[in-house]
Amino acid sequence: MFFKDLEVKDISDMPILSLAYIGDAVYELYVREHLFAKGNFLPNALHLNTVKKVNAASQKASLVKIIPLLDEHEINYVHRGRNAKSKSKPKNADAADHNHATSLEALIGYLYVSKKYERLDYLLGIMLED
């Protein structure tokens, strides 16, 4: 069984850090696809450019970019993600950036699990605009 076949009854009952976990993977895959589609075919260049976009500081900047576009329900997931208490400590980021990155990942996870793919694509497109 794959996720697309999964029926989720009530996403609001899911642990927010689980949504952030899925959101992290979705975000990184989207960044990789975006860079690949722009003609970045060399693996080392792909990796270096991905790392520039998939880090706490960049994710915080992406969140700031889309906040005005979010509806009340989406903002709720952002707040829940930012307030989540993770047992892991960020390795290469300050705590505030890490909290904002987690909130962005929670939002992305929520949209993905909710199968709101058009909305997700729209917001991710804005985040990755040059």
Please indicate, yes or no, if residue 73 is contained in any of the structural domains.
yes
pTM for the whole structure: 0.90
| Contact indicator for 81, 107 with CB cutoff of 8 Å | yes
35-53 pLDDT tens trace:
999 987 898 999 999 999 9
Distance (Å) of CA 90 to CA 17, 73, 79, 111? 14, 27, 19, 24
| Contact indicator for 98, 90 with CB cutoff of 8 Å | yes
Distance of CA 106 to the CA centre of its chain: 6
Q: Which residues are catalytic?
A: 24
pLDDT of residue 21: 95
Tell me how many domains the chain contains. Answer: 1
Please indicate, yes or no, if residue 53 is contained in any of the structural domains.
yes
Q: What is the CA radius of gyration of the chain?
A: 14
Please indicate, yes or no, if residue 1 is contained in any of the structural domains.
no
- Residue holding tokens 């709720």? 76
